[in-house]
Structure formats: C-alpha cells, structure tokens
Chain A
Amino acid sequence: MFLPLKNIVMKALLIIVLLLLSSVLTTFSEGIRKISKAELVGILNNPTDKLHVVNFWATWCGPCVKELPDFQKTVNETDGSKVEFLFISLDFPSDAEKKLVPFLKKNNYTFNVCLMTETDYNSWIDEVDPSWQGNIPATLFFNRARKIHHFVAESIDRPQLIKTIQSHL
C-alpha cells in the first residue's frame, strides 16, 4: 500500500515539475508578445491623456530597421509617464522566432515590441489610418483625449521624431 502511494506522489510531482518547466520554456521560446487585431483596435482607441507613438515595422524592411536606433535613443530619453511607445512587428509569424527575437537581442533593443498575429492586413489597416496603403515604415502619433492623430507613412529621422513628439505634448 505504501509503495504505490509513494509512486503516485512521485508521478504527480514529476508531472507538476514537467508542466512548470514546459510553461517556463514556452514563455521563453515565445518571448515576443503577440497582438491580435482586437487588441490593436483597443490600443488605438485608448482614451488616456497620453501621447502614444506606435511604429509599424518588420525585420525584413530595410528603412524600418534603419530608423530603429533613433527610436531606441528617443525612447530612452523620453518621459514614459507622458509618452508611450509601442513597436508593432509585421514580421511573418512563421519566422518571428527565427528572425525577430534574435534581431532584438543582437541590437539590445529594450523598447516595447509585439508581433501582429492578424495577417489578413486588409482587415485592420484602415483602423490605423484610412490614408495608409500598408507601406512600412509607418508611425502613428495619437492622444485621443486631446484629439491628436498624426500619421506618417514614411521613415522619420531623429530630429523629426523629437520635433513631432514635442509638438504633441
């Protein structure tokens, strides 16, 4: 009677350990936060009185990658209580783990990145800005409480980025 009970306890413990381990592993391997269309729409309609800067990019997009160091510097120097940055990666979900995660690590980027999971782009591009044709890089500056909506569907250099942020504060 004693041995089987011990066996069951051991097995249960083993299962618990395995479960914990696997959840830790998945968290690591899926280290990138995913964002759905509904979540994006939620963010775009965030009513708090704060300037939101949402950058749309991908590791495969040359001009996007080129402007990220300037964005990182600007994130570092900006008061997070006044401006909230979000970097929405449009990398193909099939190679996000292979390309996106190593890319962020290699460049020591610490800004807030998430991966768009809705690849039926036509279903959400207009939600960002009706004038947008889906070309990246693109950056949206908004503060719904102050009715600020400023969309730039091209590369932004550092002086322009800083100027745009300051003009909306």
Chain B
Amino acid sequence: MKARTLIASFILSLFVFTGAQAQYKVGDVVSDFSLKNVDNKNVSLAQYNSAKGFIVVFTCNSCPVAQKYESRVVQLNKEFSPLAFPVIAINSNDVNVAPGDSFEEMQKKAKADAYSFPYLYDESQAVAKRFGATNTPHVYVLAKEGDKVVVKYVGAIDNNADDSSKADKKYAADAIYSILDGKAPAISATKAIGCGIKWKKT
C-alpha cells in the first residue's frame, strides 16, 4: 500500500514537473495566453473569432537575426492575415539583459516599422517557456481544430536568414498553404541559427 502511494506520488511529481516545462511540439494543443500589446491592450488567441490559425513569432528588437527577418514577418502578416492566419509577435527577452527590448522600445519599433500585427510583451517569460521557444526569431504555426488550437509547424521562417531572395524553402508559408489545403505540412519542424532568448538571471 505504502509502495503504491509512493509510486503514485512519483508519477504525479513527474506530471507536475513536465507540466511546468511544457514545450510544444507538432500536434500539441496550445493553451491560450493574454499578453500586453504595444497599444497597452491585452491580446489573447480567443479574441480572434474568425481566425483559422495563427503565426506566432517569438522575436525581439535587439537580435540581428530577428532584424534580418523583420520585413519578412510584416510580409507574412500581409500575405496570411487575409487568409485568416494572422501574425502574433511576442518579445520575451529580459530587459535587464537586453535593454533594447523594453516595452517602450517595442512601442517605438512597432510604430517606426508600422507593424500591422500585435507585438506582445512577455514580461514574465512564461509564454516563451510554455511554448519552448529558445530563439529569436522562432515561429509556431498554429491551426484551429474545433475549439482547440494545435501546433502544426515549429521553427524557422525560411532557409536563408541573410538574404530572403536566396531562401528557396519558405517553411512557414508552405506549412500554412498545406493547412489551408487540408493537408499536414510536409516539413513540420526546422532549426535555425539565431539569438537565444535572453532569459532572466536567477
């Protein structure tokens, strides 16, 4: 009896542990979040009634790779928000490690570059941790399935950070076109060199 309780509590502790460390993989159901946008209003996925899915981009102001991709993120929203896949950008960098990523600097960037999508401040870094985002930029293509939001693609926007004209694999866009065709993306996970998310020093 005692052993059984021990085993049960061990299994339970495993669940608690992995729960805290959740890192979304393709096929996982995403739980909603609510983060402050650069216009001071909170944004959550549930607000998007007519969306078929989302392009969640973990990005920031300060990372040169994220800067290389900035115009491509703007382009993604232009191309896919009319197809009900809007971009939601999230900045999870700790302002103490990366001063250029303060909420005020985010507001300036969103204004200067005329962001047509939310640019959210993940101050506690809880959303980045829950998603398992490690880099900037780091993209999650999500699709609605009934009342659930499911991860369909994780990784890079395309395969050439330096020069978008040389990118011959448009991973994120291809994934969304597959989903719109009712198919699973041919490539559902990729990796790319990028800045690490600047985690709070504990």
Which residues of A does B touch, CB under 8 Å? Answer: 56, 58, 60-61, 63, 90, 92-94, 119-122, 125-126, 132-137, 153-154
Residues of chain B within 8 A (CB-CB) of A122 are 155-156, 159, 190-192
Q: Taking A63-B196, A122-B192, A126-B191 as contacts, is the C-beta distance between A133 and B135 under 8 angstroms?
A: yes
Q: Is the interface of A mostly helix, strand, loop or mixed?
A: loop
Tell me the complex Cα distance, A136–B194, Å. Answer: 6
Apart from the given pairs A122-B156, A136-B196, 7 other A-B contacts in the complex at a CB distance below 8 Å: A121-B193, A122-B155, A122-B159, A122-B190, A133-B135, A133-B191, A135-B197
Residues of chain A within 8 A (CB-CB) of B64 are 60-61
Tell me the complex Cα distance, A134–B192, Å. Answer: 5
Pairwise interchain contact A134-B162, C-beta atoms closer than 8 A: no
Q: Is the interface of B mostly helix, strand, loop or mixed?
A: loop
Pairwise interchain contact A90-B163, C-beta atoms closer than 8 A: no
Pairwise interchain contact A92-B135, C-beta atoms closer than 8 A: no
Tell me the complex Cα distance, A61–B193, Å. Answer: 11
A130 closest partner in B (C-beta): B191
Interface residues on B, range: 20 to 34
Which of A132, A136, A154 gathers most chain B CB within 10 Å? A136
Pairwise interchain contact B162-A93, C-beta atoms closer than 8 A: yes
Residues of chain B within 8 A (CB-CB) of A94 are 162-163
Tell me the complex Cα distance, A92–B194, Å. Answer: 12
Residues of chain A within 8 A (CB-CB) of B135 are 133-135
Give per-residue flags for B185-202: 1 if the beta carbon is below 8 A from chain A beta carbons, else 0: 000001111111100000
Pairwise interchain contact B191-A125, C-beta atoms closer than 8 A: yes
Interface set, chain B 156-202, CB cutoff 8 A to A: 156, 159-163, 169, 190-197
What is the minimal beta-carbon distance from A100 to any residue of chain B, in angstroms? 13
Pairwise interchain contact A125-B196, C-beta atoms closer than 8 A: no
Tell me the complex Cα distance, A61–B195, Å. Answer: 7
What is the minimal beta-carbon distance from A117 to any residue of chain B, in angstroms? 11
Q: Which of A93, A134, A136 contacts B191 (CB 8 A)?
A: A134
What is the minimal beta-carbon distance from A98 to any residue of chain B, in angstroms? 13
Pairwise interchain contact A132-B191, C-beta atoms closer than 8 A: yes
Tell me the complex Cα distance, A154–B135, Å. Answer: 12
Residues of chain B within 8 A (CB-CB) of A154 are 196
Task: Decide if B65 is an interface residue (CB 8 Å cutoff).
Answer: yes
Task: Decide if B134 is an interface residue (CB 8 Å cutoff).
Answer: yes
A123 closest partner in B (C-beta): B159
Tell me the complex Cα distance, A136–B63, Å. Answer: 11
Tell me the complex Cα distance, A135–B134, Å. Answer: 7
Pairwise interchain contact A134-B193, C-beta atoms closer than 8 A: yes
Tell me the complex Cα distance, A28–B135, Å. Answer: 35
What is the minimal beta-carbon distance from B177 to any residue of chain A, in angstroms? 19
Tell me the complex Cα distance, A126–B169, Å. Answer: 18
A93 closest partner in B (C-beta): B162
